[in-house]
Amino acid sequence: MAEVDFLSSTWELKEKIQKKGNLGPNISLLIEKNFDLPLSQIAAISQNTTDQEIIYFCCCLIIHRIREESPLGLQIISYFPCFNYLCDSNPPYRQSLISSFSSILVREIHEIASFDDFLTLAESINSITSVSEFASIPAALFINSMKFLWENINTTISPESSDAAILFLKRFKRAQDARIEVSSMLDVVINNICKYIENANDLEGIQESLGQGPANKNIEQAKKIISCVKAIKIDNEEVKKRIEAIENYIGKCIPEEEDFEDEKSYRARIPLDLHNPHQLKSFINMQFKEVIFGNQTERFNVTVWKAEHPQLGIIAVKEYTARVDANDLNKCLSEIDILEKLSGLAGQNNCFLKFYGNWVNANKLYIVMEYHEHNLMSVITHYKTNNVKIPEETLKILTIKLLHSFALMECIGIYHRDIKPHNILVTSSFDLKIIDFSIAEVKSVIDTTLITSSIMIQGSKGYMSPELQAALDAGNKTAHINIAKADVFSLGLTLLQIILMEDLAIYNKAENNQALMQKIELVETAWVKNVLKKMLCLDYHKRLSFRRLIKEIPGFETVVN
């Protein structure tokens, strides 16, 4: 059998390496344990050697170990280059490898639970050099795409909001681009979407002879939905005519190809195995110097310390003390996970803080991060006192980096929910670092089937979006909002405060939005004024996403690319 052939090649290579002698502890362990070593350890050994035979042997072991440790979820994608390398390096065993890896992939496809993860896996499968030879993969992708699409079809028939229909269409487009055969559902989906728009806007009731437009107020939403529809490849002429008929009433819609490409581009920037290179193993001999900040909540005492580490120098340590139950510290694990991921992305073109690690001692949790003395609020106050303005070029770079950072966070499924000048640190070189993810929302723990979600109302008064502030003022504990667009508003208000250097706390309320627009008119630079208007508009549907806002700034490519 083909599988036996591939297995025999692995044993042959093992014997060849053994004969070399003087292998060193890691390679000796590899030879001794081989199939019994976990995937992560085999991968680590392969990355720390330049010997091609050992690398090849590690790749062989990895393919075998994947079968034992699967399902791996999206982690499987990180092993695609390993498979490609084996196929290219050893043609006699190519079919054996394809047979083995194909069965692994089919299992992964069937086991994956999230629609978005499934699409990411499907897109990545196309990077496999011999994908055309994986006979069973197209059928597996088709079956599972149909499952996910049918599970979500109701969002096109009776969506809770237009966002639900848009999200469905974006997923459908991703499935098409991943070369999944979804044409059997296309007519049903598009006709459902058209029916929703026609019903929502009372298109059938329009009296053309009177020259009236649509009777309802959902035209902007309808345009966004049809723009997404037009980005999808449609062959049915009758469906095309139906879309054209809708456009006759709501106006011509430009296909949202660019938005789809922007999403794809940002997803491509995120490594699937986000490794934090700044992690420390030991905090021995670290000395606490002074308290920077202290706060008390119902469950915790929170203290931020300035400390000194023998290797790193001055660092910040956030201390959570459980006031009621030490198990409450588990509620902080999400914040640690966020810091871990963003630290893995931290670089010169974003605003992510380096995270060095954490430890627990009885009822206390310590989170260790890089230290910076000032936050944006203190800098604004200092500049205002000294009548100093931030130069336009500096403002441009900072704005692009902030937008880029929040766009990356959204791709990982992280929403800050408390953006304000106090939560952005300023480095000695006037760079910015985003902090305080204590109330951040993580996509994996909320309803991911809709862009809008029902969430607890949290954040800072004066900086939260108008829709959140209105729900809070009404005495509600939760609100059904688009959390990404709520973050866009909060960042917009923060940027405007940097420029005008005045308190804008009252301007986040809906009744003061017109006055807020007048404040924006005080901004002298055209691109800044344009970006702020698109971030701070009252209707969240009209606020652009972080990734689209970047493209409104001239010269953005030199900062983020």
What is the C-alpha to C-alpha distance for residues 470 and 293, in angstroms, rounded to an integer?
A: 30
pLDDT at 208: 43
Residue 74 has pLDDT above 90, yes or no: no
Who has greater pLDDT, 374 or 25?
Answer: 374
Give me the percent of the chain exceeding a pLDDT of 90.
49
Residue 132 placed within a domain: yes
**What is the pLDDT of the chain when averaged over all its residues?**
87
What is the C-alpha to C-alpha distance for residues 245 and 190, in angstroms, rounded to an integer?
A: 14
Tell me the CA distances in angstroms from 491 to 48, 508, 555, one per residue in order. 42, 12, 20
Same domain, 25 and 122: yes
Residue 513 burial by CB count (10 A; 0-12/13-18/19+): exposed, middle or buried?
middle
Residue 483 has pLDDT above 70, yes or no: yes
What CATH code is carried by the domain that includes residue 469? 1.10.510.10
CB 13 within 8 A of CB 53: yes
H helix or E strand, kind and range, residue 54? helix 52-69
CB atoms within 10 A of CB 97: 23
pLDDT at 214: 45
For residue 217, what pLDDT band results from cuts at 50, 70 and 90?
low
Q: How far from chain centre, in Å, is Cα 461?
A: 26
Residue 150 placed within a domain: no
What is the C-alpha to C-alpha distance for residues 134 and 137, in angstroms, rounded to an integer?
A: 6
Residue 157 has pLDDT above 80, yes or no: no
What is the C-alpha to C-alpha distance for residues 110 and 33, in angstroms, rounded to an integer?
A: 31
Same domain, 58 and 98: yes
Residue 445 has pLDDT above 70, yes or no: no
Q: Which residues pair with 366 in a beta bridge?
A: 319, 359
Q: Which residues pair with 425 in a beta bridge?
A: 375, 433
What is the C-alpha to C-alpha distance for residues 14 and 12, in angstroms, rounded to an integer?
A: 5
Same domain, 189 and 261: yes
For residue 59, what pLDDT band results from cuts at 50, 70 and 90?
confident
Residue 280 placed within a domain: no
H helix or E strand, kind and range, residue 367? strand 364-370
Residue 56 has pLDDT above 90, yes or no: no
Domain count within the chain: 4
- Domain end point (choices 268, 297, 316): 268
Query: Could you tell me the residue range of the domain that residue 60 belongs to?
Result: 2-145
Q: Which of 266-270, 275-279, 376-380 has the lowest mean pLDDT?
A: 266-270
Compute the average pLDDT of residues 166-183. Answer: 91
- Write the pLDDT tens digit of every residue in 453-462: 667 888 888 9
Name the residue among 453, 552, 450 with its Cα closest to residue 495.
552
What is the C-alpha to C-alpha distance for residues 384 and 80, in angstroms, rounded to an integer?
A: 54
Residue 255 placed within a domain: yes
Same domain, 28 and 83: yes
Residue 551 placed within a domain: yes
Same domain, 423 and 550: yes
- Domain end point (choices 370, 395, 422): 370
Same domain, 53 and 121: yes
Residues 6+ apart with CB under 8 A from 8: none
What CATH code is carried by the domain that includes residue 339? 3.30.200.20
Tell me the CA distances in angstroms from 76 to 48, 101, 237, 265, 383, one per residue in order. 20, 11, 40, 20, 50
- Write the pLDDT tens digit of every residue in 85-140: 888 877 777 888 888 889 999 999 999 998 988 998 999 898 887 888 888 999 99
Residue 357 has pLDDT above 80, yes or no: yes
pLDDT at 6: 64
Same domain, 200 and 326: no
Same domain, 347 and 224: no
What is the C-alpha to C-alpha distance for residues 91 and 474, in angstroms, rounded to an integer?
A: 69
Same domain, 414 and 546: yes
Residue 258 has pLDDT above 80, yes or no: no
18: its two tokens:
């053994």
pLDDT at 210: 34
Residue 427 placed within a domain: yes
Same domain, 384 and 363: no
Cis ω before 38 (30° cut-off from 0)? no
Residue 354 placed within a domain: yes
From start to end of 232-334, where are the E strands? Answer: 287-296, 300-309, 313-322
Residue 200 has pLDDT above 90, yes or no: no
Q: Is 329 left (phi over 0), alpha (psi -120 to 50) or beta?
A: alpha
Name the residue among 472, 517, 490, 474 with its Cα closest to residue 434.
490
pLDDT at 20: 76
Residue 226 has pLDDT above 70, yes or no: yes
What is the C-alpha to C-alpha distance for residues 276 and 262, in angstroms, rounded to an integer?
A: 25
Compute the average pLDDT of residues 167-189. Answer: 91
CB 547 within 8 A of CB 534: no
Same domain, 418 and 517: yes
Residue 356 placed within a domain: yes
pLDDT at 453: 60
Same domain, 260 and 308: no
- Write the pLDDT tens digit of every residue in 487-543: 999 999 999 999 999 999 999 999 999 999 999 999 999 999 999 999 999 988 789
pLDDT at 198: 84
Who has greater pLDDT, 4 or 495?
Answer: 495
- Domain end point (choices 342, 370, 398): 370
What is the C-alpha to C-alpha distance for residues 184 and 413, in angstroms, rounded to an integer?
A: 31
What is the C-alpha to C-alpha distance for residues 503 and 496, in angstroms, rounded to an integer?
A: 10
Cα atoms found within 13 Å of the Cα of residue 186, Cβ hemisphere only: 20
- Write the pLDDT tens digit of every residue in 285-328: 899 999 999 999 889 999 999 999 998 999 999 999 999 999 99
CB 149 within 8 A of CB 118: no
